[in-house]
Structures are given as C-alpha cells and as structure tokens.
A and B are shown apart, each in its own frame.
Chain A
Amino acid sequence: MNHRRSTEPHVTRRFSLSRMRRTPLSRAMVRATTAVGAVVGLGSCATNAAQDTWQPKGPNAKMIDDLQQPIFAVAGIIGIIVFAAVSYAIWRFKDRGQPIPEQTHGKPALEITLTVIPALILAVVGVFTFRVIFDLAKTDDTELVINVTGQQWWWEYDYPAQNEWGITQPIITSGQLVMPVGTKVLLRETSRDVIHSYWIPALNGKRDAVPGRIHTLRLEADEPGIYAGQCTEFCGLSHANMRMEAVALSKEDFATWVANQQAAYQSPAEGTLAKEGESVFLNQCVRCHQVDGLKRPDGSLAIAAPDENVWSGAAPNLTNLMTRNTFAGAMFDLLRDACRDDVWNAESAEFGAKYLAGVDEACLNVNDLRAWLRNAPEVKPMYANPALLADTNGKYRGMPNLGLSESDIDKLVAYLLTLK
C-alpha cells in the first residue's frame, strides 16, 4: 500500500525534530550536554580514586571484576554498533520532504535474528553472573562474623564473642571496620532507621542495610591497608557524608587490636585536664555516647541513653575512640593530613604498627574535632535543630549543638585523647 504525504490537519500536527534542532535553546542544550559529558568523562580518568570499582583488592571484588570486564567490553561493542546504526538511520533517512517509503508488516527472519542474538548473549552473561552471585552469597566458609548496623549517618560495628579470635566479650566500634587479612569475614547488616547501603568497592559489591532485616556481605582483603567506602542508598541530609573505612590488619596485628579493645577502662589521673574532661563527658556526652567502664563519681557505671535522646536509638560508642582514625561517621579524620598520609601510604609490613599506634596529641586533627564539639550541625548537616523535632518526639537525628564553652572543649579534647 502506497502512502503519500497527507495535508490533513491531524497529520500536519506532527512534532518535527528537525525544526526543533534549529532553535537556540536546542543548541544550548546540546552544548550543555556535551560539557557535562566531558566533565564526567574526564572525571573518570582519576588515578588516585580510593573508591575505584576497577581496582579490586580482595577475592570477592576480583570475582566481580572478572565478570564486569568482559561484559563491559561486549556491552561497549554492542553499544557502538547500535549507536552507529541509529546515527546512520537518522542521517540517511532524515526528513528532506521525500515521500514516505513503502510500509511493510515486518520481516520475520530479521526479527527472529535480532531476538535470538541478544537472547543468546544475555544467556551467556546470565550463566556467569549467576555463578558469581551464588559464590558471593556463600556463608558456610565464614571465619569471622561482624554485625554492622547503619543509622543516620554512621555505621556501627559489633564483634560477637568468638574465642578463636580472642574475642571473649563483644567489641563495639564505629567508623572503621577492622578485620584480619586473608580471612573470610561475614558482615551481618541491618539498619536502625532508613535503608542504607554498605559498599567498600575494593573488597566487594554493595549490600543494602534494611531496617528489620539482616543481610549478609562477604569481605576479604589480600593486603593490610585502609579501604574506603560510601553509603550508596540515599538516606537523608548527610547521606554524602556517611562514609566508612575497612582496615585490614595482619592476623597478629588484629589480635593486638582485639586485646586492646577488650582492655579495662583507665580513668585519667586526678588533677589533670583530662580528668576534668571526664566530668564534662559525664555531664554532657554520656547522655548518648557510651564509654565502657566509665563510672560516675558515686561509683555507679555510666550508662548512655541514646534510646531516649536519638531518633535511631543509638550513638557511636566512644570506648577506645583514639584507636580509630575517623569520627563523625568517618566524615572527618582524627589524624592530621601528614599523619594520615603516613598511615594510608604505609607499606604492608609497616601498616599495622602505624595504625595500631592510634592518635596522639601531635597527630590529632584538633581543628576538626574542636569544630565538631563546638557546633556539630554546622559542620555536618543533621536534623538537630531543637525547634524542629516535633516529628521525632524531640529526638535528634545526628549530634546537636551542646553549647560547650571553649574551656569545656579543651577539657573534652584532653579526655578524648586518653581513650586508647
């Protein structure tokens, strides 16, 4: 059946792409798209990207990498072929006023071919993908279990008692996940408030932490070092600041770390600034932050009550804070830049000793820590304005401004430095 260009009103209503392309607005949009594409393209060329998905540092991430490299190549080739074909068709058959060509009702042989080929490609990809998925879901070879709980906007890690690792009582920490190298670690993830997603690109893919559910994720690192990660499920104002770091130590260093985490609390000596800081901590911080072993002046244990003050019901346990390198959900470093670089860039053999040295006064990133203590919501976006807490029954999401004096901050910094 032959068709000719109709002059009827409903036909002339057609939207013309060729006409649109000539407008100034269209040209501006093309330029903007090109500029954005160029920025994204150039940005992907960074060589020192700590969260590069193409640089696996453990067997689980390598499994994913071994799968994604060939798939990316195949998809890239197919993409180029399709774009070339579409571009040719657009250029070759663009509207030049020619008559509409003869219309046919399909070509079965061509359609079957174009269905079967992608199906075969997807089937092959599917076989290898499913194999990797099942391998990554294995849990029966687990050597160390760590519970991971996400909340706005930090990660809590607790290590259940596991005598084979010297963990005789649960260890609780935050910001940095510490694990032994060459060990199959199983994370049991959940969340206290909204959905988060745990992702250390160098060690494995991402896994959602969902309230009311327990999801598992395998991690294993080949070499000692620090591996950076990022929450990858939008979880509120400071989602972009919800970072994490996995610290891999040799098994001997890990045993040292475990022993230190289980050591009894040492109160600062009487008459020191740190002792005064302990009092400030007991008056202000212990409402939410637990320090295991800390006692009130009457001798009773100081028990934090984040369940009464924080919407998620939890705040970071600060026992042994200065054995970590980060604070405030790993948004800030506890180490000055030079000391931090010294740890991050250490050779494998030296890394453990440098990390286990913790944070001392010379290396403390005192500026960020003081700014945090002075007014936390000013340096990290949080729902911590007391006037806007009606929806959360007066509970904070994040750390509020405590209105500490500079003198109190001096004392607190001195006290926190003793938590090693």
Chain B
Amino acid sequence: MFKVGSKLFLGTTGFAAVNLVAYLIFVERLAIGGVALSMLFAALIGVSAAVLMINDGDDETQPRDTALTRASMWPLIAAVGLVLLVLGLVVSQLYFIFGGIVLVAALAEWMVQAWSETASDDPAHNEFARRRLLHPIEFPVIATLGLGVVIFSFSRIMLAISKNAGTVAFMVLSALVLAVGSMFAIRPALKPALVSGICVIGAVGIVAGGIAGTGAGLRPQLAEAAAEDHFSHRECGPEKAKYFDKKAMKTLSLRSNVAAVIELRDGKLTADVYGFTRPQQQVSVPRANPVTFIFRNFDSAERRMVAYLGTAAAAMPVDGEMAGKHGDTNETCTQLIPQGAEQALTITYNKPSIAQDNDKPFTLTVAGLEGQAIEVVVP
C-alpha cells in the first residue's frame, strides 16, 4: 500500500504537522505563519490522499529497473542551498531567500532525476524523459539569469563612461551583435563549439567591463546631478536649476492614482478633484498615505508647482527623505514645465492639518505667482 511516493508525501505531511504544532506552541498562535502552515498541512493531506488513491501511479506489472543510478550533483547543490538558508536566518534575508530558491530547485531536479533513472530499462529513454520534463523550465531560467547579468553589466559600463563614449559603445556593440548574428545565419554549418565560444567571450567581456565600470563609479556629470538632489528638490523658486530642470518630462501616463489635478490657467490656480463637478480651492487627503497631485501648466511662462509641507517634519515626498532635511524651507516641487505640460508630485502627509499653525496650512502654490494657493486639508 505504501510505496516510495506515498511514503515521501506522508512523511512530508507528518513533518508539516510537527512544524505546525511547534509553531503554534513556540512562536505565536495567531500569527499568519500558523495560517500558512495550516494551509500547507491541509494541501499535503490532499496530495497524500491523492497519491495513495492512485497507488503512486505505479503499475505493478511493469518491471522495475535495477540498474545503479548515476552520480548526481544535486545533493551537493541542495546542501549548499540549505547552508545558505540557515545562514540567512542569522545574516540576511537575501541569503535566506536565495538559499531557499537553490534548495527547492535542487530538490526538484534531484527528484526528477531520481525518478527518471528508474522510469524504464532504457537509459536513453530515461534521459529523454528527464529532459522533456525539465528543459522547458531550465532553459528559460538559465537564459533569463544569463541575460540579466549581461544587461546589468552593460548598464554599469554605460553609467561609468561619458555620454559620447556611451553612444559609441552602444553603436559598436549593436553593430557587433548584428555582424555576428548575420555570420551565424549565413553560415549555419559553423561548429557549435565555435558559436558557443564567440557568445561566451562576448558575455564575459561585457561582465568584465561591468565590474570595471562599477569600480570606476558614476561619471562626473551624474555624480554632480545626484548631489543636486534630483528627486527631492528643495530649491523651489521660479529660477531654472542646472540639472533638476533639464529636459522636464512633459506628459504623464499616470491617471488612476490622483488626489487632484492642479491647473494653472489665466493666472488662476484650481484643483480638479475626481468626484466633484466644480473646481475646488481645497483638497482633502488621508493622513499617512501617499497622495499624488498632477500639475498642469496652461500659462505661457515656464512654471513649477510647490508643495508646502508644514511647520513640523509633517510630510515626506515619495522618495522617503524627510522634508526639511535640506534647510529651513520645508517644501518640495515639480520641475519647471512649459505651457501645456504636466508633472506629478507624490507626498505623504503624516500629521493632520490641526498640527499646523492656523496661518500656515499645507498648500500647493506656483513659484513666482502671488495670491494663488490650493489648501491641502489632512483630517
């Protein structure tokens, strides 16, 4: 009645039951982990029942293969995964996750290999069965990882070299890819080893370049722009900043997560709030939750919208840096945008409006435009 598969799943079910009981006793009775382990336990009961009912899917009339199994690397890799997993409990969540992935992948490969080696008397057929099952998974995963490493390495190169050199590098690399690809297409009889060798040399070259680029760091212009604080800009006057206001984005695809659209038209600032049929001068937003405002400039001059974030460290822009960090001016703003353009500003107001001075509420204004403001009310 109990065959190899049944024993495996019954054992796993028992192990899950022990884990569940231990978790409930020693960790926390009401934690979400208990719910997850209960569900795992229930799922394993179902799988075990199914395996028992179909008798492991075995046919007893089928002769079993008695040949010795081949040596396998998967136990070794599974052990590495297990070590990383345990190490991750102490050192870092990243190790834990990576170890878990390696462990699960190795166990899956190991199980399929072990199954395939006893599937029939014919080793060639067994190997075919293993490939049939795993190649559709293995190839995309390996290709994704390999391409990811190459693309990441190339991005490091592009960040390290100058803009002009980057243009040249892009052109040279794409020309090389086109030339080599054409050669492969024209001469299909090329030896696979030669094709593989060329691809590996190219990939290794890019990865080596990426390592060198990482070591060299950002090119000076990027480093300078980063120092100007691209995404949490606090110099919110009407004047143009050297990097922050360079090539302002003019249109947005963002439409669904908008607390209000703030429009500047004929020198007047209004708020279009979804659900209200008339323009508003006040916007109510929830406390401690990111909200996004879209600023549309219909004025002929270049304009930027400025959000006043309160007298205390009450609000933070979306990048997470506390407002006020860059000085006394507790505000954030969009880029300068031309007529017809629009930009978004995402802000989290952590304190309610009543925490502010009555004469200095949260506001949205336009730099250089006096007498116009939208009040942001945080109940």
Give me the interface of A with B, judged by CB distance under 8 Å: 9, 12-13, 15, 20, 23, 25-26, 29, 139-140, 142, 145, 147, 149, 156, 158, 160-161, 169-172, 186, 188, 190, 192, 211-214, 216, 236-237, 290, 292, 301, 303, 305-307, 312-314, 317, 377, 381, 383, 385, 388
Q: Is the CB of B282 closer than 8 A to any CB of chain A?
A: yes
A140 to chain B, nearest CB (A): 7
B331 to chain A, nearest CB (A): 19
Beyond A20-B53, A160-B282, A171-B379, list 17 extra A-B contacts (CB 8 Å): A13-B59, A13-B62, A15-B54, A139-B275, A158-B286, A158-B379, A160-B283, A161-B284, A161-B377, A170-B284, A188-B274, A212-B257, A212-B290, A214-B259, A216-B275, A237-B30, A305-B351
Q: Which residue of B lies closest to A314 (CB)?
A: B288
10 A-B pairs with least C-beta separation: A313-B288, A160-B284, A172-B379, A307-B350, A170-B379, A13-B59, A145-B275, A381-B30, A186-B275, A158-B379
Q: Which residues of B contact A306 (CB under 8 A)?
A: 287-288
**Are B28 and A25 neighbours in the complex by a CB distance under 8 Å?**
no
Q: Which residue of B lies closest to A15 (CB)?
A: B54
A231 to chain B, nearest CB (A): 16
From B32, B286, B287, give the contact of A236 (CB < 8 A): B32
29 A–B contact pairs at CB < 8 A? A9-B59, A13-B62, A15-B54, A25-B53, A29-B49, A149-B289, A158-B284, A160-B377, A161-B282, A161-B377, A169-B377, A170-B377, A171-B379, A172-B379, A186-B275, A188-B275, A212-B290, A214-B256, A214-B258, A216-B275, A236-B32, A237-B30, A312-B288, A314-B286, A314-B287, A317-B379, A383-B31, A388-B28, A388-B31
**Are B257 and A214 neighbours in the complex by a CB distance under 8 Å?**
yes
Q: Which residue of A lies closest to B34 (CB)?
A: A237
Q: Is the CB of B140 closer than 8 A to any CB of chain A?
A: no
A164 to chain B, nearest CB (A): 10
Q: Is the CB of B124 closer than 8 A to any CB of chain A?
A: no
Q: Is the CB of B133 closer than 8 A to any CB of chain A?
A: no
From B49, B284, B286, B354, give the contact of A156 (CB < 8 A): B286
Q: Is the CB of B196 closer than 8 A to any CB of chain A?
A: no
Q: Contact string, B29-51, partner A, CB cutoff 8 A, digits 1/0?
A: 01110010000000000000100
Q: Is the CB of B136 closer than 8 A to any CB of chain A?
A: no
Q: Which residues of A contact B273 (CB under 8 A)?
A: 145, 160
A13 to B31, CA, bound (A): 45
Q: Is the CB of B276 closer than 8 A to any CB of chain A?
A: yes
Q: Which residues of A contact B377 (CB under 8 A)?
A: 160-161, 169-170
**Are B351 and A216 neighbours in the complex by a CB distance under 8 Å?**
no
Once A160-B282, A313-B287 are accepted as A-B contacts, the answer to whether A23 and B53 lie under 8 Å apart by CB is yes
Q: Contact string, B193-233, partner A, CB cutoff 8 A, digits 1/0?
A: 00000000000000000000000000000000000000000
From A15, A190, A385, give the contact of B28 (CB < 8 A): A385
Within 8 A of A (CB), among B313-354: 348, 350-352, 354
A186 to chain B, nearest CB (A): 5
A306 to B378, CA, bound (A): 14
From A26, A161, A303, give the contact of B53 (CB < 8 A): A26
Q: Contact string, B77-93, partner A, CB cutoff 8 A, digits 1/0?
A: 00000000000000000
**Are A190 and B289 neighbours in the complex by a CB distance under 8 Å?**
yes
Q: Which residues of A contact B379 (CB under 8 A)?
A: 158, 170-172, 317
B58 to chain A, nearest CB (A): 8
B262 to chain A, nearest CB (A): 16
**Are B53 and A142 neighbours in the complex by a CB distance under 8 Å?**
no
A158 to B287, CA, bound (A): 10
Q: Which residues of B contact A149 (CB under 8 A)?
A: 286, 289
A289 to chain B, nearest CB (A): 12
A390 to B281, CA, bound (A): 42
From A161, A170, A214, A313, give the contact of B274 (CB < 8 A): A214
Q: Is the CB of B371 closer than 8 A to any CB of chain A?
A: no
**Are A192 and B288 neighbours in the complex by a CB distance under 8 Å?**
yes
Q: Which residues of A contact B355 (CB under 8 A)?
A: 301, 303
Q: Which residues of A contact B352 (CB under 8 A)?
A: 290, 303
Q: Is the CB of B66 closer than 8 A to any CB of chain A?
A: no
A9 to chain B, nearest CB (A): 6
Q: Which residue of A lies closest to B35 (CB)?
A: A237
Q: Is the CB of B277 closer than 8 A to any CB of chain A?
A: yes
Q: Contact string, B97-140, partner A, CB cutoff 8 A, digits 1/0?
A: 00000000000000000000000000000000000000000000
**Are B351 and A9 neighbours in the complex by a CB distance under 8 Å?**
no
Within 8 A of A (CB), among B255-312: 256-259, 273-277, 282-290
B323 to chain A, nearest CB (A): 13
From B28, B49, B284, give the contact of A147 (CB < 8 A): B284
**Are A9 and B288 neighbours in the complex by a CB distance under 8 Å?**
no
**Are A307 and B257 neighbours in the complex by a CB distance under 8 Å?**
no
**Are A9 and B53 neighbours in the complex by a CB distance under 8 Å?**
no
**Are B286 and A190 neighbours in the complex by a CB distance under 8 Å?**
yes
Q: Which residue of A lies closest to B287 (CB)?
A: A314
Q: Which residues of A contact B35 (CB under 8 A)?
A: 237
A25 to B53, CA, bound (A): 8
Q: Which residues of A contact B257 (CB under 8 A)?
A: 212-214
Q: Which residue of A lies closest to B375 (CB)?
A: A161
Q: Which residues of A contact B57 (CB under 8 A)?
A: 13, 15
Q: Is the CB of B52 closer than 8 A to any CB of chain A?
A: yes
**Are B31 and A25 neighbours in the complex by a CB distance under 8 Å?**
no
A6 to B273, CA, bound (A): 73
Q: Which residue of B lies closest to A384 (CB)?
A: B30
Most chain B CB neighbours (cut-off 10 Å) among A161, A290, A388: A161
Q: Is the CB of B164 closer than 8 A to any CB of chain A?
A: no
Q: Is the CB of B61 closer than 8 A to any CB of chain A?
A: yes
**Are B62 and A142 neighbours in the complex by a CB distance under 8 Å?**
no
Q: Which residue of B lies closest to A170 (CB)?
A: B379
A385 to B28, CA, bound (A): 9
A367 to B61, CA, bound (A): 69
A306 to B284, CA, bound (A): 19
**Are A145 and B276 neighbours in the complex by a CB distance under 8 Å?**
yes
Q: Which residues of A contact B282 (CB under 8 A)?
A: 160-161
**Are B49 and A307 neighbours in the complex by a CB distance under 8 Å?**
no
A76 to chain B, nearest CB (A): 29
Q: Which residues of B contact A290 (CB under 8 A)?
A: 352
Most chain B CB neighbours (cut-off 10 Å) among A145, A192, A307: A307
B43 to chain A, nearest CB (A): 16
